[in-house]
Structure 1
Amino acid sequence: MEESLQYFYNKFFDAAWVIQLVVLALSWVFLCNGGVWKKEIRFRVCLEFLILLAVLMGCNVGFFMPRHAFIIIWNVVHGIVSAIYLRICSKFNSKAKIVMWCSMYASIICLSAIAGQISFLTGEFLSKGLAEGVIRCIIYLFIIPVAFYLRAFNFDEYEDMPNSGLALILLSDFSILVLSSVETIWFGIDYRIEICLLASYFCIFIIVVVAIYAMYAMCKEKADTIALQAEKQRLLSERELAIMTESNLEDLRCIRHDLKNQYAYMQILLKETRYEELQHYFQQVAENLPFQLSYIDCGNQIINTILNIELVKANKELIPVEHQLLVPPVLPFSEDDLCAIITNLMDNAIEECRRLRLEGNENTGIRIEIYPQKSYLYIMCRNTTSRKQLNHWRSGLRTTKKDELLHGFGTRIVVRLAEKYNGCAEYSLKDGQFIAKVLLDLMNEEGNL
């Protein structure tokens, strides 16, 4: 007990210890709020810092026990306190909070251990006392740049975080705690052991720093891939619209040519008072009117264009399409986003029906509904399917195609765009039908009706 009280006395009046706790509290505040504080939040952030510092100090001096046990318990308590602080005060989303906490916690424990090892080696080979404290504080100060480094990676932009990267950081946290426990047993026995531990902590710290960058790069690459897929879909739709327009123009030229010949023939029959032949000719013309000129008109020009392109695709595959459409002429959504949502839903439906027809199932069909529902635009696309269950993957559905790297982005694009407009997307199966439902907020920030 006397040894514990002496250790507490030395710690409480150790200036280096106070500096370390100040740096520790500052690093978590910087990670949570960033480095530039606006006037309206400056008081709140300062209050957060003082409360966090007081809690950390209280936890630190509250343990009257031998040094070895103190280090283990302190690491655990520090992790719990910092996690609670980040959970309450941070504006990161839940996944980003986990990533940030794991990375920061691992970095702090590593740098704390490195500071302790270098401080010990300084005392062994250079000078004890002031030199040890100065070295320990200098190493500890690197925690603040690490906080700014982690803060630079805004994971709030990305909802898909690789589980492998998070698992690597969690493994690093566990490894550090195990290594810290081993250190408490071997501390001060031999400087060579301290050097080995120092190298181990340094390697783990580098792994954490690189892992967080790799996670961010993977998230960014995934987001860029989805954006490129959406852009590709838009360009394909524009190309198909151009082809459809040219085809319609050619059909109109042919119809115009036929009408001129028909008018000339009817004029001859009329002049010659051959009324029975004229009536019979009218019946033939009525029976052979071109049915290809079917056209969807829902009240919105953009959606008209998109759906008519999709209707042409479905007609080529002999897939019947039912629709219930009542759309306001002006919508507060990007034309590209609307195109991406409807095109992905319809293309997936057409592709599934095409697959079933190739397998011999002729009883296929698609139904599309678009209309306002309270303050949302409701979009529902339903198609025949042979699926028995849906394999959800991240924010979308797992593709049934072999190459998952190049496919399976459509459902995720729809979900991401729905969330962009304060809405949601839902996929389900019912009575042999695949049903996709999307809600888009008509009163979103990008525009009002």
Structure 2
Amino acid sequence: MNWLRIAQGVLCAVEVCGLYYIFNLFYEQKRNKLWERIGFIITLILFCGLTIFQREVGGMYSRYFMFLCIFLAVCIGKFFYNITFTRCLLVSTLYFESIYFSDIFLGYIGQALLDSIDFVDYIQFHINLERIIILGITRCFLLIVLFILRKYKIHVNNLCFNYRMLLIGFAVLEYLGLFSCEKVFIPAYREEGKIYVYFALFPIILVLTFIIVIVYIMYIEKKNEMQLMNSQNEMLEKNYHEMLLLYQKRDRIFHDMKNHLSVLSLLIADRNLDRAEEYIKKVNAPILELEHKKYTGNRIVDIILNDKIEKAHNNNIKFIINAHDIKEGIIQDIDWCAILANVLDNAIEACIKVQNDEKWIEMSISQNDCSTIINVTNIYNGEIKISKDKLESTKKNKILHGIGMESVKTAVNKYNGIFEYNWEADIFYIYISLFN
């Protein structure tokens, strides 16, 4: 009997540690002081002890203890991690509902296989091998899910952010199924066979709902991916086209340089220095116009920067740039287009809307052995629209212009990067970190 209690304690600890692991996997801890780390460990130990005690005294399943676990999880998540209340509640609810629903469903399966009407009472109120087997199966399944979450962390995080309402609906449906299926513990329902209706109905509904949600998400993601790819390809084509035109203009100027030198030689030979100086200015004007500065040494980055700087100057926007060497090949050209072109276009368009103040953009870009860092700061008119924790475009075609920011996020995620933004009264900040 003691080894059964030990096994149950280990499985309860796995259940609680799984929740902490999800928090650590997807969210950053607020602080990293010694007393907070000690408090973090103490809450973990107390949570495990409370769960073990409930399984010993209260039985395998308790909906009210599940509510208590969700409440404690939300408190722990909000205190120790940078996470919103809504997301913390959603993660905790889905986590414990799924575990408890799995426990009940496996209890029903055991009852059906053994053809014992009292099987669920046997595992509910007594520590026995059958209960350990059920808890062990659900916790093994939990470990598999945690492995999948770790492997596809970025994709899961994006899906949870973009389809939060679907997950909320699924959590509500899962609770209704849990509430109905727990009637398996009521002898009257078992004797009349009513419980078989619930266990045939709700698991099927949950599975079908899950399949529909997955298919819908795949359709939307594929549609967005095609839009992003078209947008990126158009931008890349535009930049390469501009580069081609630039080289053609330079070729024409260099082709005519022999004739220019001959004319200058004749003017200098005739001692006509004034006309020679005037001629030099005329020849130099188109050269200066085509001159593109090398900011980073990365060809595509410099093309984008020169193009956006020229666009800013044409709109009377002061553009200050602090750039360091950027190696080619680490970040793909199409991703440079998606990130730099979109971010700088948004900064320029924000500056254009400013009426009275001086218009300016500041940008820094650097690279080390581990990461590439991009910081962009610009003035704006103070109008920011936020919808569902996301920036909302103020333009008429919100879908089209929303693609730009989604394109940036998609490119950043390819490099397991960080994309953050913040704002003050009239200044907007963007921070991007790409891991090489």
So what's the TM-score if we normalise by structure 1?
0.62
- Which position in structure 1 is the counterpart of 2:142? 147
Task: Decide whether the 8 Å contact of 2:9 with 2:52 is kept in 1.
Answer: no
Partner of 1:410: 404
SS in 1 for 2:430: strand
2:423 maps to a residue whose letter is S
Q: Distance in 2 between matches of 1:352 and 1:24?
A: 55
Shifted more, 75-84 versus 197-206: the winner is 75-84
* Counterpart in the other structure of 1:198: 196
Q: Give 1:417 deviation, angstroms.
A: 6.3
Cα distance in 1 for residues equivalent to 2:328 and 2:197 = 57
What is the distance in 2 between the residues matched to 1:22 and 1:346?
Answer: 55
* Matches of 1:28 and 1:210, distance apart in 2: 26
Q: Cα offset for 1:343? A: 1.7
User: Which of 283, 295, 308 is the equivalent residue of 1:298?
Assistant: 295
Relative to 1, partners in 2 of residues 1:166 and 1:287: Cα closer, same or farther, differing over 3 Å? same
> Shift of the alpha carbon at 1:101?
0.7
Query: Which deviations, in whole Å up to 9, do the C-alpha atoms of 1:221-264 show, x marking residues without a partner?
Result: 77777776666565445423321222122222332455444444
Equivalent residue number for residue 324 of structure 1: 320
Partner of 2:429: 436
Match of 1:76 among 44, 55, 64: 64
- Structure 1: which amino acid aligns with 2:298? Q
- 1:362, 1:261 → 2: CA distance? 49
Change (3 A) 1:98 1:268: same
- Matching of residue 188 in structure 1 with residue 195 in structure 2: no
Q: Which has the larger radius of gyration?
A: 1
Measured in 1, the distance between the counterparts of 2:309 and 2:340 equals 12
Equivalent residue number for residue 101 of structure 2: 107
SS in 1 for 2:274: helix
Query: Could you tell me how far apart the structure 2 residues matched to 1:310 and 1:144 are?
Result: 54
Give the alignment partner of residue 370 of structure 1, picking from 364, 369, 388. Answer: 364
Q: CA RMSD in A?
A: 5.6
What's the CA shift for 1:440? 3.3
- Partner of 2:431, secondary structure, is strand
- Matched AA of 1:327: A
Structure 1: stretches of 5+ with no match in the other structure: 1-11, 35-49, 64-69
| Equivalent of residue 277 in structure 2, options 282, 301, 306 | 282
d(CA) in 2 for partners of 1:109, 1:21 = 13
1:334-349 aligned at under 5 Å gives the runs: 334-336=330-332, 337-349=335-347
- Is the CA contact 2:103–2:138 (under 8 Å) kept in the aligned structure 1? no
Deviations 1:380-403 (A, max 9, x none): 142555x62231544x42234566
Residue in 1 aligned with 2:378? Answer: 382
Q: CA deviation at 1:129?
A: 9.6
Task: Give the 3 Å change call, closer, same or farther, for CA 284–137 of structure 1 in structure 2.
Answer: closer
Query: Does the 8 Å CA contact 2:312/2:318 hold for their aligned counterparts?
Result: no
1:254 pairs with 2:252 = yes
**Distance in 1 (alpha carbons) for counterparts of 2:73 and 2:408:** 35
Aligned-partner residue type, residue 63 of structure 2: N
User: Given residue 342 of structure 1, which amino acid in structure 2 is its aligned partner?
Assistant: L
The superposition leaves residues 31-52 of structure 1 with CA deviations (integer Å, 9 ceiling, x where unpaired) of 6789xxxxxxxxxxxxxxx999
State the AA in 1 paired with 2:274: Q
Partner residue, 2:238: 240
Q: Distance in 2 between matches of 1:366 and 1:188?
A: 75
**Displacement after TM superposition at 1:369 (Å):** 1.9
Q: Which amino acid aligns with 1:188?
A: A
Q: Give how far 1:345 is off.
A: 0.7
The equivalent residue for 1:391 is: 386
C-alpha deviation, 1:152, in angstroms = 5.9
Higher helix fraction: Structure 1 or Structure 2? 2
1:201 counterpart letter in structure 2: F
The alpha carbon displacement at 1:370 in A equals: 1.1
Which has the higher mean CA deviation after the structures are superposed, 157-166 or 50-59?
Answer: 50-59
Are the equivalent residues in 2 in contact too, given 1:23–1:143 (CA < 8 A)?
no
220-229 or 306-315, which moves further after superposition? 220-229
> Quick one: distance in 2 between partners of 1:169 and 1:20?
32
The alignment covers a number of residue pairs equal to 388
Deviates more, 1:235-244 or 1:51-60: 51-60
Cα gap change, 1:285 to 1:388, in 2 (>3 Å) = same
Identity of aligned pairs, percent?
14
| Residue aligning to 1:8 | none
Report if the CA contact (8 A) 1:325-1:370 is conserved.
yes
In 2, distance between residues paired with 1:393 and 1:365? 30
